[in-house]
Amino acid sequence: MLARGVRLRVRPVPRYHAPHASHGAHMQSKTFTSGRIRRADYDATSQQLDLHWDDKTVHAYKHVPQEVFRRLCSAPNPTTYWEDRIAEEYPKGTPMSKGAGAQDTAQKFRDLFGGGE
């Protein structure tokens, strides 16, 4: 309980955010804290959806309407929504970015600590 005269300020949390300025104004991203899908990136201009998985793979889908991305982000179980509504419905594409795969992670490690020469 708050003391009398004390006000609690509540700020709305944005549902989506642009993860990197280089992606442009039409890029949206949603991070998931549980389940197999870790992050979903959506480019409204190209209608491409990139799904980043817990095993560091990235699955890309083309011609995905923005409403499908919105429903994925609000689904109680995003992985089930993907299985039922995305996996076989939309053509596969090439991921917009490399993601955080093993080779990319190894390169970042070498950049940080040196190449071990």
pLDDT in tens, 94-103: 999 754 455 5
pLDDT at 26 (0 to 100): 82
* Over residues 105-109, mean pLDDT: 62
pLDDT, residue 105, reads 62
Q: What average pLDDT does the structure give for the chain?
A: 81
The answer to whether 89 and 72 are in contact (CB under 8 A) is: no
- Report d(CA 91, CA 109) in Å as an integer: 34
**Contacts (Cβ under 8 Å, ≥6 apart) of 107:** none
Take residue 76 and report the two structure tokens written for it.
Answer: 């109680």
Structure tokens at 55: 């095993």
